[in-house]
Structure 1
């Protein structure tokens, strides 16, 4: 493999499509390796002579007018300095290229020739981008093969999503399904072994640690889930797996677009809920059905394009089923701390989605604790005019916790406008943004206005539209926020204990400051939610007015197990201990400056534990 000296892009001796076909033939069983293949491109040492914006402009110049053959476009790319690393500007420029309907046939023909005969990344990227706009079903096999190169997976899947969702999903899973337990299913999908697809579909674990929202959608699409459900109407294992995939797609920890982009979502919801009476009343099945109900009541599932009355009918059906004695007793035999905690969650949450049906107007606030087995967050779901706000207009992370929004009174409306952060991205606000709204009182109304969010929304290539202001009747608004602040059936003892300890330290910060400590995060244990966790930062000297090296603090973590007494008593005991004993004597170092911790004589935590 070589490249002429005057070429910046790395040219293969044969087309990349033929290269992929040869690799596929040489793969055991015709199944490519996990992650697909990487092309050996030029070193990515920066943008080179062209910035990304300059490259985009250059691609536009190369495509105007649209050339008749791939060779002409290749020469233009070389002359204008378009390199392998500029494949993204190539795709963007092709997507925005204005082409009248009379040129669509020529553009399609050029796209096919570039995809099949192109020997450089920019040429093939241009071909895939043209087929994304003008491709037809006959282009599916070529796009499916090219998508196995990691450099082309994203654009090929985007193009296939328009032409053949199943093929798009198979390519996506081939490259992105990295967990070992998913590989037998991927192999069955690639070989077209339908009996094996059903077998492997129900065999792998569907927990959030194995399957995220994107993988759940692609698995459902690739396996033709509605067809399987119709073919096996009494297969309870398959039915439970279908419900579990819907739960994963609607997870607050995932992307709402995964559920909203699943074209068969309404049909699968219908199949799962109407046949749910066939399922054995196990703890797993009860948790799955309750999670579906929570989603249909106040989660992303509300945003699907439901026929009038259908969502309410499915919710009512789930409510009747889960109220039956055999389902109400599903967690009675739970063993082990994690299963018992999950059974307690079902008892606390079981009737919540059926109490207050969504209305078409006004404000509704629902604190929802998701399935603890999936590490689902506790979030403050805000429903305006019947639609959950955060997944509808943000979609990069769940709504904030009630401790943040409600315990701090942030949703209360005063005469002074207050900007409130309703949610932030899973990663960080600095990476993918946050959702803000300004809340103010205007006479007998409360106004939400001046929304702030990222300039784009997930699943959309265009700019995010401006969000309208919302006006609420002030008395109804005040009543709803007060109800939400006082309504705590969702909480469990350790979480209530944590809230009371935090409130006590806010009221009396001297309980920690006397020990040269200040309050950190207080909540429940991630791995053991039945424990309360208190963290604090330690810097010697502030109590005496002489802080030493404040920038080198040491973080401590104190775990308070649930002793079975009422949360108020546990919190009071914890606050007394903080008042009487230096917490550094019973808490453990968990972060901060390692050098400072060891200098002060505190052992650094063993990372292997």
Structure 2
């Protein structure tokens, strides 16, 4: 008897800012996959889906290729995977099908789920549809996404100042600002060498997100970002790099 392929739908849950974060909920054969399984860790009773910015999009990890790659679908509790758990699977394009297999959770060594097999056409169409859905995105989130994409395309700027971009972050609880985070030095071959985390908080206006992202990119790449950023973190011996220490806590700025 031929087994019918599984059917995937990606639902984006967007609760009020004070009630939770935006998350992608995989719906398989009409059932919420994350609601069907319980984390193995000690810090949470349910899985929370990874956000759409990290999971979806043109280069998002849910896109399947013939080369298997692992995808983090969910997390739980405090977010530290070893104690509270996180749900991973491996996605592979296998001919006319896309396969989810190799399930694991670091907080539960006995964790396992059955293999899921989707029709490739239906699967990719759904991933593309969900990636194009921006109804959940707030203006500062759009600026952060566009600015990060622009800065990642400016590898020359990062190399010149010996930095790598950790990310550009936005929170729905702070709709008037975004945070740019850099690490220095870049490409550390020796993990024992000192390193610094630089951060800067940038105000967001009511202008179009694309216009703001373009202006901010031009401003940031005009010079050395370390000259205007603050030290937000680093290794225990980071003061050897010659910047103010101890770091500033951005939560208390």
Looking at secondary structure, tell me which structure has more strand per residue: 2
| Alignment match of 2:54 (pick from 394, 404, 411) | 404
Q: CA deviation at 1:576?
A: 1.0
**Contact persistence 1:449–1:468 (CA under 8 A):** yes
Q: Which has the larger radius of gyration?
A: 1
The 2-side partners of 1:403 and 1:583 are apart by 25
Closer, same or farther in 2 for the Cα pair 1:552/1:475, shift >3 Å? same
**Contact persistence 1:422–1:436 (CA under 8 A):** yes
SS in 2 for 1:364: strand
Matched, 1:535 2:187: no
Q: Which residue of 2 aligns with 1:559?
A: 201
SS in 1 for 2:221: helix
Looking at secondary structure, tell me which structure has more helix per residue: 1
Q: Which residue of 2 aligns with 1:453?
A: 105
Matched, 1:514 2:160: yes
SS in 1 for 2:49: coil
Q: Which residue of 1 aligns with 2:213?
A: 571
Q: CA deviation at 1:595?
A: 5.5
Matched, 1:592 2:234: yes
1:441-471 deviation per Cα after TM superposition (whole angstroms, max 9, x unaligned): 23322222232235759xxxxx65x422222
1:417-441 deviation per Cα after TM superposition (whole angstroms, max 9, x unaligned): 2222212333312223321222222
The 2-side partners of 1:447 and 1:472 are apart by 6
The 2-side partners of 1:580 and 1:590 are apart by 22
**Contact persistence 1:594–1:604 (CA under 8 A):** no
**Contact persistence 2:164–2:183 (CA under 8 A):** yes
Q: CA deviation at 1:547?
A: 9.7
| Alignment match of 1:469 (pick from 115, 135, 148) | 115
Matched, 1:387 2:37: no
Listed as ranges, the matches of 1:74-223 within 5 Å are: none
The 2-side partners of 1:531 and 1:580 are apart by 21
The 1-side partners of 2:224 and 2:106 are apart by 45
The 2-side partners of 1:479 and 1:437 are apart by 20
Q: Which residue of 2 aligns with 1:371?
A: 16
| Alignment match of 1:524 (pick from 159, 164, 170) | 170
**Contact persistence 2:50–2:73 (CA under 8 A):** yes
Aligned length: 238
Listed as ranges, the matches of 1:7-406 within 5 Å are: 362-374=7-19, 376-395=20-39, 396=44, 397-406=47-56
The 1-side partners of 2:139 and 2:77 are apart by 27
Closer, same or farther in 2 for the Cα pair 1:438/1:549, shift >3 Å? closer
1:556-596 deviation per Cα after TM superposition (whole angstroms, max 9, x unaligned): 11111112211111111121122212212222221114753
The 2-side partners of 1:599 and 1:452 are apart by 39
When normalised by structure 2's length, the TM-score is 0.81
Matched, 1:429 2:81: yes
Q: Which residue of 1 aligns with 2:64?
A: 413
**Contact persistence 2:85–2:107 (CA under 8 A):** no
Q: Which residue of 2 aligns with 1:444?
A: 96
1:66-121 deviation per Cα after TM superposition (whole angstroms, max 9, x unaligned): xxxxxxxxxxxxxxxxxxxxxxxxxxxxxxxxxxxxxxxxxxxxxxxxxxxxxxxx
Q: Using CA pairs under 8 Å that are at least 6 residues apart, name the structure with larger relative contact order, 1 or 2.
A: 2
Closer, same or farther in 2 for the Cα pair 1:409/1:531, shift >3 Å? same
Closer, same or farther in 2 for the Cα pair 1:445/1:605, shift >3 Å? closer
Closer, same or farther in 2 for the Cα pair 1:603/1:441, shift >3 Å? closer
SS in 1 for 2:202: strand
Closer, same or farther in 2 for the Cα pair 1:599/1:389, shift >3 Å? same
**Contact persistence 2:198–2:233 (CA under 8 A):** yes
